[in-house]
Amino acid sequence: MRIVCIGGGPAGLYFGLLMKKLHPAHRITVVERNRAYDTFGWGVVFSDATMAAMKVWDPESAAEIEDAFNHWDDIEVWFKGTRQRTSGHGFVGIGRKKLLNILQTRCEALGVELLFETDVDSDLDFADADLIIASDGFNSKIRNRYEEVFQPDLVTRPNRYIWLGTKKLYDAFTFDFRKSEHGWFQAHIYKFDAETSTFIVETTEEAYQAHRLGDLDQQGSIDFCENLFSEVLDGAELMTNARHLRGSAWLNFNRLICGRWSHFNGKSHVVLMGDAAHTAHFAIGSGTKLAIDDAIELTRQFQEHGHQADKIPAVLEVYEQVRRVDVARIQNAARNAMEWFEVVGRRYADTLEPEQFMYSMLTRSQRISHENLRLRDKAWLEGYERWFARKSDLTISDNGRCLPPMFTPYTLRGTTLPNRVVVSPMAMYSATDGLLGDFHLVHLGARAMGGAGLVFGEMTCVSPDARITPGCLGLWNEDQAAGWRRLVQFVHGNSAAKVGIQIGHAGRKGATKLAWDGIDQPLQEGGWPLLSASALPYLKNSQVPKAMDRADMDRVLADFVRTTELAASTGADWLELHCAHGYLLSSFLSPLTNQRTDEYGGSHEARARYPLEVFAAVRAAWPQDKPISVRLSCNDWTEGGNTPEDAAIFAGMFKAAGADLIDCSSGQVSKEEKPVYGRLFQTPFSDKIRNEIGIATIAVGAISEADHANSIIAAGRADLCAVARPHLADPAWALHEAGKIGLTSIPWPKPYLSAKSQFEANLARAGGAG
């Protein structure tokens, strides 16, 4: 084949040398606009996995690259007058120029033609090429030429950064956080050769503008950074190699995703590679990794399908399918890390203590979890666990393992939970006339005995016409309260768990069939009139609700107060007001469901007015020594609906009204929603509200392991973790998860003690306890 790689970065060079090595008959040219053995940039970071793959595909260049590597295991964080260090992280760095020089030499040795000082404007300049690799970087002219084909999705991120270097050498990947008079700045620092370290400085747009950094020339920006980071520089100077750029060297990161990666231009197949196809933020150092992995995977597909020109279409199709998955995974992790740095000042640096700030930073991408940190640096993590346990008022010795965060107690008002695990409210549709019966006693009692700290019943409705289905729980009369008393007495008498009652009104989503008979489908008979903020049905075939007038509001508010008084009489420990998922109070909060033109519609304050009226009445009726949480839909996942920013505004209002905690869920407001699911996908909402609004939170959604819960709570992303479906599958989820992480000190119910040792022994034999 005739192959042309446009762009002599890592992707183009590495693909060229691999293909030439494996099939010398190929005629391969790499075209580069820079001079021979010249490039811009400081150091780049590799992953161990990519290096291992390079050793397999081309041991010769891998050995030379590895010889030039600078390896370090430690991360050091400078923050608020402290220096914290942890080990076991396994980074390798190399100068970008050195890396490219090694790959250029290897290409020449294999017979790849290198064409320097040549700027390519069009792929059509190489009409004889069977395959053209568009590896010409983020500003790819080739990709831009076929924009309608490649469908680039480009987002300019808000933070500013400047990429500098210094002759001071650092023996750890160092992060330095400094607060100026106008905001926080952070430096990302790592050594990449025997003489030089990369020194990236990042800040918000607000701080950038307030300091008028855009008005400075490059030397002015260097002087500013040297002054701000003088302690970590310790007299060393900063350098730039971006003198070719005009004006300020401060840049915005651009996130790029392409809808397609390949195209046939009529003569040649063109495929994007490296930064021309995708970008990932420098916060996890993955740009070079992605480029090298692209080159390896495309080569692998030629090896499997054949090195003939007629195989190119099949190769490119499979290549894109395979790489999309890994690229998406890396981009998601990079996005998490990038967003952490974008909000680090207001969300973390201003609020967290240095110990928790360090933990939050280490786990920012969500690729590194609690137990992964234990593998990397057991001594550091156990020290952090002791610090966290002491913050929970536990008496802890100075050595050895203590309770991990999810198993530490948590106190709100006069209620102390034995641990941070919550059985999430989950609709069971198994009540008759709203009565809590034997099913609920067994269901909820088993989960309390299974080790959870707080057990919620499903949404408990405040009146017969507040129910979602005829099978929903209610609490509007004394018989129903008696059933709750029975449950509370059982839980308190047979476990350390506390009992929570979530109260709510279905609104426009009421009078529907049981879930297994047709979720959200209206009852054919036996239904009841519905209320909502506006007269908008949930489904096209749903009953049209009445837009509430003042008399309706007064009646429903009185229903909530009566239910609260009955709940207090049961001895329950915790109350939650349901303002999420499109139910009645949620319908006032969301602009998708609230189209009122009176004082209860329009602005955030107006839309929250009635839910806050209800909350104030409920808070007044509930014992002052017991907490109340509020469940919010923190993202409607629908254009025109509430966003996490809106949810934070509402959370602040409920906090001011006396709420103790926000239960951070999302969605179910509109059937047009398009949620982005994934592991811990709703935790960022909890993180934002907890650390920006300053109120305790519950995280919920795709939390299925102790490792998830420990990571969330330890990082301060939530105070409690609500676990739903895993608790349906395993009533003793909390006890079993403790065993899986090797924690044997958590007590089991006495009648079950004989099973505890056997369970733990079986885990040990299976290698499941760590």
Catalytic residues, by residue number, are: 583
- Compute the distance between CA of residue 758 and CA of residue 143 in angstroms, rounded to an integer: 60
What DSSP state is assigned to residue 309?
A: G
Handedness of CA 127, 130, 134, 136 (dihedral sign): negative
Residue 242 to residue 249: CA distance in whole angstroms: 7
Question: Do the strands 661-665 and 546-547 form a parallel or antiparallel pair, or are they unpaired?
Answer: unpaired
| Pair of tokens at residue 116 | 């320097």
The tokens describing 37, both together, are 């053995």
First to last CA, the chain: 52
AA identity, residue 521? Q
CA distance 764 to 759: 9
How many other C-beta atoms are found inside a 10 Å radius of the C-beta of residue 40? 13
- Residue 91, H or E segment: strand 91-95
Pick from 367, 369, 371, 379: which is nearest to 741 by CA? 371
Residues 6+ apart with CB under 8 A from 744: 738, 760
DSSP classification of residue 523: P
E-only strand ranges, 643-723: 661-665, 696-700, 720-723
Helix/strand/coil (H/E/C) assignment for every residue in 247-299: CCCCEEEEEEEECCCEEECCCCEEEECHHHCECCCHHHCCHHHHHHHHHHHHH
Distance of CA 463 to the CA centre of its chain: 38
For 356, which DSSP code?
H
472 contacts 433 by C-beta, under 8 angstroms: no
In terms of DSSP bridges, do strands 454-456 and 421-423 run parallel, antiparallel, or are they unpaired? parallel
Q: CA nearest 686: which of 717, 715, 657, 660?
A: 717
Q: Which amino acid is at 15?
A: F
C-alpha–C-alpha distance, residues 161 and 336, integer Å: 17
Which residues 6+ apart lie within 8 Å of 355 measured at CB? 84, 384, 387, 388
**Which residues are within 8 A (CB) of 152 and not within 5 positions of it... i.e. 6 or more apart?**
143, 144, 256, 257, 258, 259
Phi, psi of 14 (to 5 degrees): -70, -40
Q: Which amino acid is at 685?
A: F
C-alpha–C-alpha distance, residues 81 and 354, integer Å = 9
Q: Are strands 696-700 and 661-665 parallel, antiparallel or unpaired?
A: parallel
| Cα within 13 Å of Cα(301), Cβ side | 20
